Amino acid sequence: MGDHEKKVLHRLKIAKGHLEKVIDMVEKGEYCLNVIQQSQAVQSALSKADEAILENHLKTCVRDSIESGKNIDEKVKEVIEVFKRK
């Protein structure tokens, strides 16, 4: 497993821990704003994982397409479509 995968897995495990805490808080009926704050921590960790995945994609798949001159428009379109879904 490379450094990239380790970085992404680390972020996802952080998100998982925060999500488990959110579920526990809801089950215990904890104060709503505290639940939201914990939920925001989940979202932040997932965003950081997304950033790491995107960075790797740009540095590998997209760079390879640019260097080879093949599928450049397709790779750019793929990235744009991901951001349109947000």
Q: Model confidence over 8-41: pLDDT tens digits? A: 999 999 999 999 999 999 999 999 999 999 999 9
Query: Domains in the chain, please, with CATH?
Result: 3-84 (1.20.58.1000)
Determine the straight-line distance between the first and last CA of the chain, rounded to whole angstroms.
Answer: 29
Q: Is residue 51 a contact partner of residue 42, using CB atoms and an 8 Å limit?
A: no
The whole-model pTM stands at 0.82
Cα(36)–Cα(73) distance, integer angstroms: 40
Per-residue b or e along 30-57, where b marks 16 or more CB atoms closer than 10 Å to that residue's CB: eeeeebeebbebbeebbebbeebbeebb
Percent of the chain scored above 90 by pLDDT? 70
Cα(26)–Cα(11) distance, integer angstroms: 23
What tokens does 65 get?
A: 């397409």
The pLDDT mean for the chain works out to: 93
- The pLDDT score that the predictor gives to residue 55 is 92
- The pLDDT score that the predictor gives to residue 83 is 84
- The pLDDT score that the predictor gives to residue 9 is 96
Q: Model confidence over 40-79: pLDDT tens digits? A: 999 999 999 999 999 999 999 888 888 998 888 898 899 8
